[in-house]
Amino acid sequence: MAWVQLVALLALFEYMGFVIAVGRARTRYGIHAPGTTGNESFERYFRVQQNTIELLIMFLPSLAIAATYWNPGWVAAIGAVYLVGRLVYFSAYVREPRSRSLGYGLSVVPVLVLALGAITGVVRALLGA
């Protein structure tokens, strides 16, 4: 389970890195809080942060629940794909939003796999399988 816990913590630190990047972009592009619009480059950073928090809501519980029912090493490996996907997404989206597809796929597919694994494990446990 330590690998799963490490992946969960890395996901939080990765998100914090995105939060810091948004703060720096605010300064660089002159977008004062609470503003979130006014410069397309800033908005790219902001959207990465927002999209990441949207996925984290599904990722973290799915990761934890799936690890309860399936091999934690495999669950952690799937979670690691999510981490890489978020970095690819960040890099691509900030550079050119239309190029975000690979990073998005590498982020969303692991979340879906973990969520399906989690629900399957829960249902099997409820049915006594």
Q: What is the CATH number of the domain that holds 13?
A: 1.20.120.550
In tens, the pLDDT along 16-26 reads 999 999 999 99
In the chain, pLDDT over 90 holds for what percent of residues?
98
Give the mean pLDDT of the chain. Answer: 97
- The closest of 127, 55, 25, 43 to 63, measured between CA atoms, is 55
Question: Residue 48 corresponds to which amino acid?
Answer: V
In tens, the pLDDT along 21-69 reads 999 999 999 999 999 999 999 999 999 999 999 999 999 999 999 999 9
Please check whether residue 4 is in contact with residue 64, taking contact to mean a CB–CB distance below 8 angstroms.
Answer: yes
Please check whether residue 44 is in contact with residue 94, taking contact to mean a CB–CB distance below 8 angstroms.
Answer: yes
User: pTM of the prediction?
Assistant: 0.95
Side-chain half-sphere exposure of 129, counting CA atoms within 13 A: 8
Number of domains in the chain: 1
Report which DSSP code applies to 100.
-
